[in-house]
Amino acid sequence: MDWFEENARDLPWRRPDAGPWGVMVSEFMLQQTPVSRVLPVYEQWLARWPRPADLAGDAPGEAVRAWGRLGYPRRALRLHGAAVAITERHGGDVPTDHAQLLALPGIGEYTAAAVASFAYGQRHAVLDTNVRRVFARAVTGVQYPPNATTAAERKLARTLLPDDDRTASLWAAASMELGALVCTAKNEACVRCPVAALCAWRLAGKPAHEGPPRRGQTYAGTDRQVRGRLLAVLREAVAPVPQSALDRVWEEPVQRARALDGLVADGLVEPLTGGLYRLPQS
């Protein structure tokens, strides 16, 4: 925590004026996406939709359009759905109660804990990839955590969590920042780590990972890439787009059709009569 006070990045969602809505937007955007890509989209998003009700009053397709090239665009629809629920159930204010946060559409265990902790200073174990990696190395003595969060990890996180609410929320942010800046997945900077002298993995000689193979982040040639290209055409269009315009973005017809069908099934694209397509309007 002392290290965090001196080394924490000045990020807009950490500033007091961000408010709970700003924290929630950042948590949706930062899932599987680096800070450098999130920053410009985050600023534009909050300028356009400074409160949940502002986003809820717009079409979900506008959220997908504003999401740009952040990737995993279903997050935009989920954030829009959460904004609608906040507006309808909570008078437009992001709820403070963890259970109410968890009940919002599109919000899982991690996001509910992160918003409650970072926006409202509550005591919750916030387990993102960075925190899990720090705990795996410093406490468990292995290079990487399991592919999916386990009950043992949750128990360990709760054990390490300080008792005081404010201290616990600061601890959550500090451990996350340590994983993002120092205890990184590759090329970890142990010489700059404030807990290097206590790190079980370092003290054991940094044994190599022995668990299941870590999932890669392949993109080129995948359906994800095709979906991204199709959505790019629809985001840039002001009117419904004909099938012929979508056909030009990818040569292989079977994969292209599969990607488009997936976008429609996910609610990211709305088919119209006459072979036209647009971003969802309702």
Q: Indicate which residue of 5, 6, 27, 177 is catalytic.
A: 27
The span from the CA of 144 to the CA of 173, in Å, is: 20
Report the first-to-last Cα separation within the chain, whole angstroms: 45
Q: Is-catalytic flag, 27?
A: yes
With beta carbons less than 8 A apart as the criterion, state whether 266 and 257 touch: no
The span from the CA of 127 to the CA of 160, in Å, is: 12
The span from the CA of 207 to the CA of 222, in Å, is: 33
Q: By C-alpha distance, which of 144, 153, 98, 105 is closest to 122? A: 98
Active-site amino acid positions: 27
